[in-house]
Amino acid sequence: MNKNDLIDSIASGSGLSKADSGRALEAFIGAVTSSLRGGGNVKITGFGNFSVSHRAATTGRNPRTGEPIQIPASKNAKFKSGKGLKDAVNW
């Protein structure tokens, strides 16, 4: 399912127009993004949790030359599914 398919599914399930569904999806994505950017978490009971994971800086190797390279620290978005979603997928 891609973004357009998701918008179509939201529109058919909620009775909203496709344009309104698209704006609702964009608002949801924006709210999650701004919360994670600010260091917060987003918890949707029964669905899952969005959070930020921190990766420490490490030393790696260039596979072509074998030369050591420094991999900088970074933050990544993480999603952990909730019980309701797990149960729905593992029917």
pLDDT one-digit tens code per residue, 25-60: 999 999 999 999 999 999 999 999 999 999 999 999
pLDDT digits (tens, 9 = 90+) for 19-29: 999 999 999 99
Q: What is the spatial distance between Cα 29 and Cα 35, in angstroms, rounded to a whole number?
A: 10
Q: Is the separation of the CB atoms in 9 and 24 below 8 Å? A: no
pLDDT digits (tens, 9 = 90+) for 5-22: 999 999 999 999 999 999
Name, in order, each residue with C-beta under 8 angstroms of 84's C-beta and a sequence gap of 6 or more. 45, 46, 47
pLDDT for residue 91: 84
Residue 75 — very low, low, confident or very high, per pLDDT cuts 50/70/90?
A: very high
Q: Is the separation of the CB atoms in 30 and 50 below 8 Å? A: no
Q: What is the spatial distance between Cα 88 and Cα 91, in angstroms, rounded to a whole number?
A: 6
pTM of the complete model:
0.79
